Homo-oligomer: A and B are copies of this chain.
Amino acid sequence: MPHAENASRASTTQKRTRIQKEKEEAILDAALNVFSTYGFRGATIDQIASLSNLSKPNVLYYFNSKEAIHRQLIDRILEDWLEPLLAIDPNGNPVWELRAYIRQKLELARDYPRESRLFANEILQGAPHIAEELQDLKTLVDEKSVIIRDWAEAGKIKAVDPRHLFFAIWSTTQHYADFDAQIRVVLGLPEDGEDHFEEAARFLDMLFVDGLVVAQTETAAS
C-alpha cells in the first residue's frame, strides 16, 4: 500500500531526517494497531508508545497530539482505500469492471485489515474526524453511479440502484476484515490460517457477477 511521504512534526520543517522517517513510521504502525482495535477514544498514547518502543514524550515529539497521529493515519490510508473505486472505467466491460472492483476490495480487506477496521471504528462512532473525507467519497460515488446507471440503461447489466450496490460490495468485502474475529469462530479456523479468502472470492463472484450483474445473456463487448 504505497502512500505519500508527508509528516507533520513538532516543528514545521519540510526535510525529514533518517531518524524522523523511522520513528514516525514506527509510531504510525503502532498507532494503526491501537486505533483500529480500540477506536480513537479507547486508544491511549501510552499504548502507542509502548508498542513502538518509544517513551510517551518521544511520541509527542513527533506528533503534537493523539489527534495528529490519527489524522495523518487517515490521510495516508484514504487515497489507497478509494483507489479501486476511482479505477472503474466507463469504457470497460461492465461485468469485468465490477468483478475487478470486488476482487480489489476483497484483497484490500485481506491485506490491510487494520486499515479497514480503523475506518469501521471511525464510522461507527459517527465519523467525527472524517466529515470532509466522506464528502469527497460522496462526490466520487455520485460520479461512478452515473456509469453504473448508464450500463444498466444500455442493458449491459441489470437495473439496480448503484449506491446500494456499492454499499453491498463494501459491506461484504470489508466484513472479512472488520468481523474477522467472528468469522474465524464460525468457520472454526485458528488465528493464523487465512485460506477462507479464496472461498470468499468465489462466493462473492457468484453473488454479484453470476447472480445480479449480468442479465440472462452476456451481451457486453469492448
Q: Is A61 an interface residue, CB under 8 A from the partner? A: no
State the copy count for this chain: 2
Contact of A168 among B117, B158, B204 (CB under 8 A): B204
The answer to whether B37 and A126 have CB atoms under 8 Å apart is yes
Q: Are A127 and B203 also in contact (CB < 8 A) when A138-B186, A188-B138, A211-B212 are? A: no
Map CB proximity to B onto A137-172 as digits: 1 under 8 Å, 0 otherwise: 110010000000000000000101101111110111
A185 touches B138 (CB 8 A): yes
- List, sorted by A's number, 11 A–B pairs whose CB atoms are closer than 8 Å: A37-B126, A38-B41, A121-B121, A124-B179, A138-B185, A164-B200, A170-B175, A171-B171, A172-B172, A210-B211, A211-B212
Contact status B37-A40, CB under 8 Å: no
Q: Which chain B residues lie closer than 8 Å to A78 at the CB level?
A: none
A125 CB–B CB distance under 8 Å: yes
Q: Which of A117, A124, A165 has the most CB of B within 10 A?
A: A124
Give the complex CA separation of A182 and B186 in angstroms.
28
Give bound CA distance, A122 to B165, whole Å. 27
- In whole Å, how far is A86's beta carbon from the nearest beta carbon of chain B? 15
A1 neighbours in B (Cβ, 8 Å): none
By a CB distance below 8 angstroms, the chain B residues around A183 are 167
Q: How many Å from the CB of A208 to the closest CB on chain B?
A: 8
CB distance from A70 to the nearest CB of B (A): 13
Residue of B nearest to A202 (CB): B161
A132 to chain B, nearest CB (A): 10
Tell me which of A40, A137, A163, A166 has the highest count of chain B C-beta atoms within 10 A of its own C-beta: A163
Q: Does A187 contact B (CB under 8 A)?
A: yes
A106 CB to closest chain B CB (Å) equals: 12
Tell me which residues from 28 to 53 in chain A have a Cβ below 8 Å from any Cβ of chain B. 36-42
